[in-house]
């Protein structure tokens, strides 16, 4: 970004210096002659002078605009990235960020997990406006209408956090605007399992030095969920000695609102004050019932076969930021102060019964999670020497949470037990970075940077244990990064990128705390969980090589290979404790190696044939490999890595009609989690389509369809040891989801 501003500024400066001078050299004699011969009130001379002045102004304006518009971040930035603009984001009329990104090259979506290089679970860093989302932030409430662009960054940057082993997805929200914008969007979606209604609008304008941008969004709907599961245990001989099946049916409703106001004031000296805020609030209810039927053998007591449950809840998040941009010592200082607060509530009520309702367990757990975070970011940038753009900054934040769980449990008609659990974690972060982007010449640019990050985690848990559980952990990482971009001479459009990074993945608060969560029915597939205060961050040395070829009319070919060597790999180990209960615990255990190949191509159809002039084509392919040294093979992939994925899309435009389709494919297969555990990942084929019709410049209708193939959602898990094999399979149906979106501009 810094290099982009530097190049645009240089181009504009050069145009302003060169063009007026040339125009003056050509017009000075004529102007001088007119000045000598013209008399006051000479209308002909005045007309000629006005005509020449307008001509000069027009020439200057066109040249400056051309210099800025030629900038392409993917092609010109030293750091490798793919940028999805607002038009691409809203093309299919999606109402959530996950459907948008499943069609992005190099990104796969598994449930609510975004993955790069097939890795999620903290390996892919998710940022909003360059920062980690505040505590309690719900990505489901982030709608495409709020987004200006999405940056998919393959190699890490010192300016952002280096917790990006697989890469970074930076979601940039819309900000202040230079022109008036008033629009309203109404949408409805429906499938066999859900109905959703959304309404959103934007009101933005500029009045003198003040710019404002107001975005609001209302949503609501209801969902249903059905699943069927089967569990069995077989002896090494193959004899099945336990088997049962269960059915679950649930439904619920939700509603919410989002409001994001932003203001900007520009001062005469060029300084700028930016104030932004946001509030998100939603309420939801959910209820369901499950029933289990034992087919073979008996199961551990108490064997609860019927479960009735309900769980209403809600979330409110508020955030605010004040930013000051000022000229200082020949450079620019960008200072931001932010604060976030959130409150999450969940009331979980369940009744469990054994066969014939002989035994009853009532659980009524009310949870409240209150959190707040305060942050300070400062970045100073300036140009030094020839072609150097330097930047240095500081980033610090303090995050505190207070989690309270009010537990009421009653077995049969016994006296109810009452326990109040509290958990108060505190996370303190401090980071500093420095970077230099050096444009050596037209062909070669280099980026060098380093970032130091330190994290301290403190927590106290009070509840089931006899005494409070107090834990403390501290870690820090120094991460150098180097990237280079070489453009082949002669304007061929071919270029080569090389990047070296040292990134990391920090343990989460839950992984670091020693408190324990106990399940109602403890099994291999539903164990207790506990943390480990001695965990160390995973460190990764990475290498990326990318070849790109940019052709005319926006056509492009790209090939990228990468390698990540990870040390202190954190895996979750399943054990049996002294009381005979299954429990998950995280540990640092050995190394892991990740390799990836990514191909991408897009072209307007007219480059292939005149008959395809109304079409745009695009495709991508990713192949990922990984292995974990502590887990025996085969299929010992890291984090259930997606081994292979591909996308293909086509768009057609004719007059006021635009339509298109996209197919996203993910290869499934078995993944070995530990020596005894394996799980099967489904092969998915998601086919989406849209139609956009513009009635006039003010009104347009967008119709879309998702999951046209009606892909279902199966699951399969196995635990195998010397005693035998436990297997659990599941199935939940999927269906086509259709939607309509009416967009109005005023």
User: For 533-563, how does the pLDDT look when each residue is reduced to its tens digit (9 = 90+)?
Assistant: 889 999 999 999 999 999 988 899 999 999 9
- CA-closest candidate to residue 314, choices 256, 376, 388: 256
Task: Give the per-residue pLDDT at 120.
Answer: 86
Q: Lowest mean pLDDT: which of 58-67, 93-102, 477-486, 606-615? A: 58-67
Same domain membership, residue 483 and residue 364:
yes
The CATH number for 362's domain is 2.40.170.20
- pLDDT band, very low/low/confident/very high, at 568 (cuts 50, 70, 90): very high
Residue 115, domain member (yes or no)? no
- For 553-582, b where at least 16 C-beta lie within 10 A, e where not — what string? eebbbbebebebebebbbbbbbeeeeeeeb
- Pair 664, 684: CB distance under 8 Å: yes
Average pLDDT over residues 274-294: 95
Task: Give the per-residue pLDDT at 78.
Answer: 84
> What pLDDT, in 10s, does the model give residues 227-246?
999 999 999 999 999 999 99
Residues of the domain holding 62: 1-71
Task: Give the per-residue pLDDT at 1.
Answer: 40
Task: Give the per-residue pLDDT at 468.
Answer: 87
Instruction: Tell whether the model's pLDDT for residue 216 goes beyond 70.
Output: yes
Q: SS in 3 state form for 226-239?
A: EEEEEEEEECCCCC
Same domain membership, residue 186 and residue 67:
no
Task: Give the per-residue pLDDT at 136.
Answer: 63
- pLDDT band, very low/low/confident/very high, at 48 (cuts 50, 70, 90): low
Report the interhelical angle of 43-69 vs 2-37 (nearest 10°): 170
Distance of alpha carbon 128 from alpha carbon 297, whole angstroms: 52
> What pLDDT, in 10s, does the model give residues 329-375?
889 999 999 999 999 999 999 999 999 999 999 999 999 999 999 99
DSSP code of 492?
Answer: -
Residue 337, domain member (yes or no)? yes
Residue 141, domain member (yes or no)? no
Q: Among positive and negative, which fits the CA dihedral 160, 163, 165, 171?
A: negative
Could you count the other beta carbons within 10 Å of the beta carbon of residue 403? 17
Task: Give the per-residue pLDDT at 2.
Answer: 40
Beta bridge partners of 109: 114
How many angstroms separate the Cα of 572 from the Cα of each of 361, 388, 588? 30, 46, 9
Q: Which residue has the higher pLDDT, 82 or 56?
A: 82
Strands (E), 20-116: 81-85, 107-110, 113-116
What are the structure tokens assigned to 19, written together?
A: 């063009």
DSSP code of 579?
Answer: T
- For 364-373, b where at least 16 C-beta lie within 10 A, e where not — what string? bbebebbbbb
- Pair 482, 500: CB distance under 8 Å: yes
- Pair 425, 404: CB distance under 8 Å: no
Helix (H) or strand (E) segment spanning residue 424:
none
Task: Give the per-residue pLDDT at 432.
Answer: 97
Residue 365, domain member (yes or no)? yes
Distance of alpha carbon 19 from alpha carbon 65, whole angstroms: 13
Residue 95, domain member (yes or no)? no
Residue at which a domain ends, from 49, 71, 93: 71
Distance of alpha carbon 516 from alpha carbon 587, whole angstroms: 15
Please return the burial class of 316, using the count of CB atoms within 10 Å of its CB with bins 0-12, 13-18 and 19+: middle
Q: Among positive and negative, which fits the CA dihedral 635, 636, 638, 639?
A: positive
Helix (H) or strand (E) segment spanning residue 5:
helix 2-37
Average pLDDT over residues 48-53: 52
DSSP code of 631?
Answer: S
Strands (E), 17-92: 81-85
Task: Give the per-residue pLDDT at 70.
Answer: 66
Same domain membership, residue 190 and residue 65:
no
Number of domains in the chain: 2
Average pLDDT over residues 494-504: 96
Same domain membership, residue 186 and residue 55:
no
- What is the pTM for the complete model shown? 0.83
Torsion angle of C-alpha atoms 206, 207, 210, 216, degrees rounded to 10: -50
Share of the chain above pLDDT 70, in %: 90
Residue 522, domain member (yes or no)? yes
> What pLDDT, in 10s, does the model give residues 641-693?
999 999 999 999 999 999 999 999 999 999 999 889 999 999 999 999 999 99
- Pair 316, 280: CB distance under 8 Å: yes
Task: Give the per-residue pLDDT at 509.
Answer: 87
- pLDDT band, very low/low/confident/very high, at 745 (cuts 50, 70, 90): very high
Task: Give the per-residue pLDDT at 55.
Answer: 46
Distance of alpha carbon 217 from alpha carbon 259, whole angstroms: 6
Q: Which residue has the higher pLDDT, 199 or 467?
A: 199
Could you count the other beta carbons within 10 Å of the beta carbon of residue 58? 10
- pLDDT band, very low/low/confident/very high, at 67 (cuts 50, 70, 90): very low
> What pLDDT, in 10s, does the model give residues 404-442?
999 999 999 899 999 999 999 999 999 999 999 999 998
Task: Give the per-residue pLDDT at 556.
Answer: 95
> What pLDDT, in 10s, does the model give residues 719-733?
999 999 999 999 999
- Pair 84, 100: CB distance under 8 Å: yes
Same domain membership, residue 199 and residue 50:
no
Q: Which residue has the higher pLDDT, 386 or 363?
A: 363
Task: Give the per-residue pLDDT at 563.
Answer: 97
Q: Which residue has the higher pLDDT, 603 or 72?
A: 603
- CA-closest candidate to residue 282, choices 259, 261, 262, 249: 259
Same domain membership, residue 376 and residue 229:
yes
What are the structure tokens assigned to 305, written together?
A: 């076969």
Residue 678, domain member (yes or no)? yes
Distance of alpha carbon 627 from alpha carbon 624, whole angstroms: 11
Same domain membership, residue 191 and residue 66:
no
Distance of alpha carbon 645 from alpha carbon 647, whole angstroms: 7
Instruction: Tell whether the model's pLDDT for residue 281 goes beyond 90.
Output: yes
Could you count the other beta carbons within 10 Å of the beta carbon of residue 160? 21
- Pair 596, 544: CB distance under 8 Å: no
Residue at which a domain ends, from 71, 96, 119: 71
Same domain membership, residue 563 and residue 443:
yes
Same domain membership, residue 355 and residue 207:
yes
Instruction: Tell whether the model's pLDDT for residue 616 goes beyond 50.
Output: yes
Task: Give the per-residue pLDDT at 44.
Answer: 52
Residue at which a domain ends, from 53, 71, 89: 71
Residue 212, domain member (yes or no)? yes
Please return the burial class of 664, using the count of CB atoms within 10 Å of its CB with bins 0-12, 13-18 and 19+: buried
């Amino acid at each position: 970004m810094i290099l982009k501003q530097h190049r645009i500024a240089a181009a504009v400066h050069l145009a302003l210096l060169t063009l007026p001078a040339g125009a003056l050299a050509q017009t000075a004699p004529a102007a001088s002659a007119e000045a000598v011969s013209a008399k006051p009130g000479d209308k002909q001379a005045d007309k000629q002078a006005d005509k020449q002045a307008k001509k000069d102004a027009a020439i200057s304006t066109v040249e400056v605009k051309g210099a800025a518009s030629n900038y392409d971040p993917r092609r010109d930035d030293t750091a490798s990235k793919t940028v999805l603009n607002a038009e691409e984001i809203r093309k299919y009329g999606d109402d959530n960020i996950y459907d948008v990104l499943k069609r992005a090259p190099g990104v796969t979506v598994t449930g609510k997990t975004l993955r790069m290089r097939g890795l999620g679970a903290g390996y892919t860093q998710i940022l909003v406006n360059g920062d980690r989302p505040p505590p309690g932030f719900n990505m489901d409430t982030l709608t495409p209408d709020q987004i200006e662009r999405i940056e998919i960054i393959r190699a890490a940057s010192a300016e952002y956090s280096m917790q990006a082993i697989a890469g970074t997805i930076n979601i940039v929200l819309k900000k202040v605007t230079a022109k008036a914008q008033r629009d309203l969007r109404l949408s409805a979606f429906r499938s066999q399992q859900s109905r959703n209604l959304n309404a959103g609008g934007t009101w933005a304008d500029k009045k003198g030095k003040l710019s404002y941008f107001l975005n609001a969004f209302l949503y609501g709907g209801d969902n249903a969920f059905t699943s069927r599961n089967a569990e069995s245990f077989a002896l090494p001989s193959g004899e099945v000695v336990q088997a049962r099946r269960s059915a679950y049916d649930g439904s619920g409703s939700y509603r919410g609102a989002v409001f994001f106001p932003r203001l900007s004031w520009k001062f005469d000296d060029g300084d700028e004050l930016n104030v932004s805020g946001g509030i998100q609030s939603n309420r939801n209810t959910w209820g369901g019932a499950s029933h289990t039927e034992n087919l073979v053998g008996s199961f551990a007591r108490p064997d609860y076969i019927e479960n009735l449950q309900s769980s209403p809840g809600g979330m409110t998040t508020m955030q605010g930021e004040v930013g000051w941009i000022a000229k200082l010592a020949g450079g620019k200082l960008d200072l931001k102060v932010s604060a976030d607060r959130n409150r999450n509530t969940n009331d979980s009520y369940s009744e469990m019964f054994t066969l014939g309702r002989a035994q009853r367990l009532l659980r009524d757990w009310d949870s409240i999670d209150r959190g707040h975070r305060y942050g300070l970011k400062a970045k100073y940038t300036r140009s030094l020497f020839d072609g150097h753009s330097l930047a240095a900054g500081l980033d610090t934040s303090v995050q505190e949470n207070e989690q309270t769980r009010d537990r009421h449990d009653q077995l049969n008609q016994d006296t109810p037990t009452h326990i109040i659990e509290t958990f108060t974690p505190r996370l303190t972060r401090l980071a500093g970075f420095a970077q230099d982007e050096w444009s050596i010449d037209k062909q070669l640019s280099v980026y060098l940077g380093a970032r130091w990050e330190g994290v301290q985690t403190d927590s106290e848990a009070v509840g089931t244990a006899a005494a409070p559980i107090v834990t403390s952990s501290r870690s820090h990482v120094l991460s150098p990064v180097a990237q280079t971009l070489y453009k082949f001479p002669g304007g061929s459009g071919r270029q080569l990128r090389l990047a070296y990074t040292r990134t990391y993945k920090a343990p989460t608060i839950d992984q670091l705390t020693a408190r324990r969560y106990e399940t109602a029915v403890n099994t291999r597939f539903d164990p207790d969980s506990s943390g480990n205060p001695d965990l160390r961050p995973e460190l990764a040395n990475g290498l990326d090589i990318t070849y790109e070829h940019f052709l005319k009319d926006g056509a492009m070919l790209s090939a990228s290979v990468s390698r990540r060597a990870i040390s202190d790999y954190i895996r979750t180990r399943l054990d049996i404790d002294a009381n005979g209960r299954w429990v998950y615990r995280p540990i640092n255990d050995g190394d892991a190696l990740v390799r990836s190949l990514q191909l991408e191509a897009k072209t307007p159809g007219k480059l292939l044939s005149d008959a395809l002039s109304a079409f745009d084509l695009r495709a991508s392919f990713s192949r990922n490999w990984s292995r974990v040294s502590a887990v025996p093979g085969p299929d010992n992939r890291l984090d259930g890595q997606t081994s292979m994925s591909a996308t293909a899309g086509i768009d057609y435009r004719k007059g006021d009609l635009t339509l298109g389709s996209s197919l996203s494919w993910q290869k499934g297969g078995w993944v070995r989690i530990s020596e005894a555990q394996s799980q099967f990942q489904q092969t998915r084929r998601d086919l989406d389509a849209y139609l956009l019709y513009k009635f006039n410049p003010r009104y347009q209708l967008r119709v879309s369809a998702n999951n046209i193939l009606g892909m279902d959602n199966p699951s399969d898990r196995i635990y195998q040891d010397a005693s035998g094999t436990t297997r659990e399979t599941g199935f939940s149906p999927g269906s086509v989801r259709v939607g309509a979106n009416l967009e109005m501009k005023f």
